[in-house]
Structures are given as structure tokens and as C-alpha cells.
Amino acid sequence: MKTSTLPPLRVSPQLRAEAEAVLAPGESLSSFVHDAVTRTIEFRRSQQEFVERGLASAAKARRAGRYVSSDAALKTLRRQLEHARSRDK
């Protein structure tokens, strides 16, 4: 499979200097940018899947006519948090 390039990107000298300042030993600016693009793609896919699951869940609740109030959900979450904190002591 042939490789291809991303479009050239103009950045301020300050942004380039900041990126270069955080490079790991032996890491190139190109590999840093590649990693950043790869991670952003993964994050956005995950974010999109999360939203899709939420919308599907909302549609399912509407069809079934079964909802949980935000107060009830928060009460359950608070109880779980208190339980988890008490176990850590």
C-alpha cells in the first residue's frame, strides 16, 4: 500500500517551538504530528460512537415509554460513590 501525505500546515513559530519543546528523546516532529492526528481520530470516533449509543438509548426509552428521572439517576450515582469511598477507607 502506498503512503500519502497530509496537507502542509502553517503554524506560528510559537506553536512549533512549543511542539518541539515537548518531543520525547529521539522523537521527530513528524512522528509527533502523526501520533497527534492518530489519537484525535481515535478520540473523535469514540466520541461519535458514544453519541450514537446515547441517541439510540433515548430512542429506545421513547419507544418503551420508560425513563429514569435525572434526580433518581443522580441519587443512585451518589449512593454508589459513597459506597466506593467507604470501601477505600
Contacts of 37 by beta carbon, 8 Å cutoff, 6+ apart:
6
pTM above 0.85, yes or no: no
pLDDT of residue 89: 75
pLDDT of residue 67: 87
Q: Is 71 helix (H, G, I), strand (E, B) or coil?
A: helix
Q: How far apart are CA 33 and CA 6, in angstroms?
A: 10
pLDDT of residue 88: 83
* pLDDT tens series, the chain, 89 aa: 899 999 999 999 999 999 999 999 999 999 999 999 999 999 999 999 999 999 999 999 999 999 888 999 999 999 999 999 999 87
Grid cell, residue 57, equals: 438509548
